[in-house]
Structure 1
Amino acid sequence: MSDSVIIPKEAAPRLSSLFSRAYLFGTLMLGSGIMLHAVETYITATLMPSIVRDIGGLSLFAWATTIYVAASVLGSTFVAVRPERVTLNRCYVFGAVLFGIGSLVCAIAPTMETVLIGRAIQGLGAGFLVALGYAFIRFVYPEPLWSTASTLYAAVWGIATFLGPTIGGIFAAGSAWREAFALLVPLSILMAFSAPKLLPSGEGERVTTKTPFPQIVLLVAAVVLLSFASSVTAPVLRGALAVAAVVGILVTITIERHAQARLLPAGTISLSSPLARVYLTMLLLLVTICSDVYIPYFLQVLHAVTPLVSGYLVALLALGWTAAAFTTASLKGRRANQVILVGAAIEAVATALLVITLARYNPQSNVLLLAIATVFIFLMGFGIGMGWAHLVTHVLHLAPAGETDKASAAITTMQALGSAFGAALAGIIVNTTGLVEPGGTEGALTAARWLYSLLALPAALAILLTLKLPVGKTAASH
């Protein structure tokens, strides 16, 4: 495949265009990389109870996710700061190989500590693959298809939300969690072998800098500290860890502002930069959406819903994201910015309304109350899905000359950080407001009310940022 393929200017940016002969293999490769990561995320979440029962390590349960997310930040960063002679398709090979090695380590792990090593290697590979999904867009597709390609990736996550728990449930039911990880190994090998043949090299004008090790270390440390803060029981220690994480983030920003070796594109630290506002909007929307991590628990404890049903109800959030992405993919310019704003408002309001629907004691599983709560769960995903593809397109348009790789990789970094910070903040809120002490129904009610009240605020703040998003191909230097 050539590095750039031109289609007629008048061609309609429909999803089917991504599967035309010119783009089919690129679409399959990039979609497969994101699908591998997305499905595995849900499979592992489903398998973790079985893994703990088999080899122990309950105290390390949460770290299977934390270490994966932290490693994915490192992987996505390498895509942007890789050596000049390392092309994007070679990065894809590295990512697929690392993912396969990590899966193999998990499959043969005798202890939970070994599983965590495998999860770290998996996360590193996943960071490569997801970052490349965005970085390759400008090489595989013409500009009119950029937003449509971003929509496809949202659809991949929606599909994975249903496939992952189902596949994981099948393997968990037979206590075959090792086979579930082993299944990913040949898939990873196939993808690594195919990448040089089916993907363009991804070479282009690029500003090369030294690796921003201090910023990377501080960000990963902040993720780890917040994860610790969400799981410790002592309030004083929880507060100290949270403060330390905030300090780490502030120091990272200070270093990034003056460093020659930058993690983000030039000018991104200042809110006067349109690109900075786009990234921050992404981060805030993701922090709010991560309040979904406790939805299954509240459905089971407060509404007497079975674990299987609660899993599929929360999956409606991803379905909402996918449905909105398809609905709004064709919008451009001011209309695209309007749906980003409306979507942020819908996400904020839907999250806040869970305070009076999900945070209710409903031991009889009243269908009407559950139905209303389910609608708001769906709308949380629908809200972020309305604008996500357009935010990605803004990043590609606003990237400074020579820093498109860095700008694209930063999308994945924002996703990882948003997910990590959102989940950690959710843990801190519920553990501080009664989930564990006093616990039970009373604790769950109090925790749910505080959680959805507070985590609606980041999406509300994102509304203000969307009011100043650029229209069209505004220069990044503005």
Structure 2
Amino acid sequence: MLGGGIMLHAVETYITATLMPSIVRDIGGLPLFAWATTIYVAASVLGSTFVAVRPESVTLNRCYVIGAVLFGIGSLVCAIAPTMETVLVGRAVQGLGAGVLVALGYAFIRFVYPETLWSTASTLYAAAWGIATFLGPTIGGVFAAGSAWREAFALLIPLSALMAFCAPKLLPSGKGERVTTGTPFLQILLLVAAVIMLSFASSVEAPALRAALAGAAVIGVAAAILIERKAEARLLPAGTISTASALARVYLIMLMLLVTVCSDVYIPYFLQVLHGVTPLLSGYLVALLALGWTTAAFATASFKGRRANRAIVAGAAIEALATALLVFTLARHNPESGLLLLATATVFIFLMGFGIGMGWAHLVTHVLHLAPAGETDKASAAITTMQALGAAFGAALAGIIVNTTGLIDPGGVAGALTAAYWLYGLLALPAALAILLAVRLPHGETTAAD
């Protein structure tokens, strides 16, 4: 049930990415193309927050029902949508449901598994993403080939209904001690606004406007942090907004690693333009990143204490190095698809995922250990919030970098070369920062008191 909720979200993410060109050809709305992802990510932040601030009467398994129902309703709206604007409404409702389901996957760990299996449970979730990476594009490609994109969304409706029906029967209630606070509306609003402004910044052509929007996004994030520091209605667990907080460092590591790995959004484009790879093959080559994540997660699942922390540090270093080395392999003109250069770039794509996969499950375990008493739900939900923000900020920053460094002007091969060079050179830096944060993590059976 828990892996299924995460896989439902993951498969749908890749299905939609594959279907969007068919949707635009059928009902129009090309100017709104990128918003199908932006709105979904922003809504998932809201959905993950609901898990932490839900009413006391709503148990975790009932919360799961709400998430599955919302996901099904959003899928139905997308399936019958006559316009792109309606698709975006459906994507927003889907995002709310997905945020709830993914956050619950982490929140339920402490109720379903003994403590010794927490990192293993997180590894299984990574496996769900790895499987979805191959299933999603395949399913989406089958439906896109027949212009049956509505049927692809409709396929998700009975799956959502089945999961909503089974949740109260198969999942524990998840009742436990909770510290109840108000809903952090202002912090959520500022973070969602920052995501939207960065998304705008990645698509506008005027450099001055792009800089203004990016600056406004930074101000929005800074304001959210300042408000969170003093607010009674908090988005994060108590004490997290502090440079001395180990939990804050864990969240920052997660955010930095995800910002770096989301530079993969342009890998298919560079493979096609610079290396002469077909669209289908480029899709599966970038899927190797998720395969690397899953492989590393299983390889390091049994690590504990100092060994787990070393895996986090080593993983961040591998991700940073692999991303930087794409400057010398992916950012090269290889029109004949020379095997040596292409194979080397493919290895680094795999290692980007392998690096983040080495430490992710152990970072999740740190969150569960470090969460203050009564705030584990909030701490678990914040994992999903960091995932959504990392993906949104990473994709938006990637868009800003490539559009500023030549992807649009001069465009073509020359523009793609300079854009790839700057993209992977700059976005290796967040993972490098994560190394510095990771070397200071506590080890062993860590608690909030530590």
TM-score by length of 2: 1.00
Whether 1:168 and 2:161 are equivalent positions in the alignment is no
Residue matched to 2:40: 68
1:126 to 98, 106, 127: 98
Corresponding residue number in structure 1 for 2:347: 375
Residue of structure 2 equivalent to 1:285: 257
Q: Secondary structure at the match of 1:183?
A: helix
Between the aligned partners of 1:383 and 1:186, the Cα distance in structure 2 is 36
Of the three residues 83, 86, 89, the one matched with 2:58 is: 86
Please list every run of 5 or more consecutive structure 1 residues that lacks an aligned counterpart in the other structure: 1-28
Residue 325 of structure 1 contacts residue 386 of structure 1 at CA under 8 Å; is this kept in 2?
yes
1:449 maps to 2:421 = yes
Of 326-335 and 464-473, deviating more is 464-473
Task: Map Cα deviations across residues 284-303 of structure 1 (whole Å, 9 max, x no partner).
Answer: 00000000000000000000
* Aligned-partner Cα distance in 1 for 2:127–2:195: 27
Contact 1:398–1:473 (8 Å) recurs in 2: no
Question: Aligned with 2:126: secondary structure?
Answer: helix
Counterpart of 1:350 in structure 2 is 322
Provide the C-alpha distance between the structure 2 equivalents of 1:102 and 1:469, rounded to a whole number of angstroms: 40
Partner of 1:103: 75
Matched, 1:462 2:446: no
Residues 1:184 and 2:131 are matched in the alignment: no
Alignment of 1:37-52 (within 5 A): 37-52=9-24
Structure 2 gap ranges (5+): none
Q: Which residue of structure 2 lines up, in the alignment, with residue 13 of structure 1? A: none
Q: Distance in 1 between matches of 2:75 and 2:260?
A: 30
Residues 433 and 450 in structure 1, CA contact (< 8 A), matched pair in contact too = yes
Equivalent of residue 216 in structure 2, options 236, 244, 258: 244
CA distance in structure 2 between the aligned counterparts of 1:146 and 1:406, rounded to whole angstroms: 17
Separation in 1 of the partners of 2:413 and 2:95?
A: 35
Cα deviations by residue, 1:99-130 (Å, 9 ceiling, x for unpaired): 00000000000000000000000000000000
**Identity over aligned residues, as a percent?**
85
Output one character per residue of 1:126-160: Cα deviation in whole Å (capped at 9) or x when no partner: 00000000000000111111100000000000000
2:300 to 316, 321, 328: 328
Contact in 2 for aligned 1:273/1:476 (Cα 8 Å): no
Measure the CA separation in 2 of the matches of 1:267 and 1:240.
32
Residue 398 in structure 1 maps to residue 366 in structure 2: no
Q: Paired residue for 2:393, among 408, 421, 440?
A: 421
User: Secondary structure of 2:447's match?
Assistant: coil
Query: Whole-Å Cα distance in 2 between the matches of residues 68 and 328 of structure 1?
Result: 31
- 1:44: Cα distance to partner? 0.2
Q: Give the whole-Å Cα distance in 2 for the aligned partners of 1:135 and 1:119.
A: 24
Distance 2:442 2:196 in 1: 34
> Could you list the per-position Cα deviations for residues 338-366 of structure 1 after superposition, in whole angstroms to 9, with x for gaps in the alignment?
01000000000000000000000000000
CA–CA distance in structure 2, aligned partners of residues 186 and 474 of structure 1 = 41
Contact 1:303 1:363 in 2 (8 A): yes
The one-letter code of the counterpart of 2:272 is Q
Which residue of structure 1 lines up, in the alignment, with residue 337 of structure 2? 365
User: Which aligned pairs between 1:210-359 and structure 2 lie closer than 5 A?
Assistant: 210-359=182-331
Residue in 1 aligned with 2:179?
A: 207
Report how far residue 474 of structure 1 moved: 2.6
How far apart, in 2, do the equivalents of 1:475 and 1:364 lie?
55
Q: Is the 8 A contact 1:344 1:460 kept in 2?
A: yes
Is contact 1:267-1:477 (8 Å) kept? no
Secondary structure in 2 aligned to 1:369? helix
Q: Secondary structure at the match of 1:442?
A: helix
Deviation, 1:36, is 0.3
Task: Give the distance between the partners of 1:69 and 1:365, measured in 2 at CA.
Answer: 35
CA distance in 1, matches of 2:310, 2:107: 25
1:477 shift after superposition: 4.0
- Corresponding letter in the other structure for 1:394: H
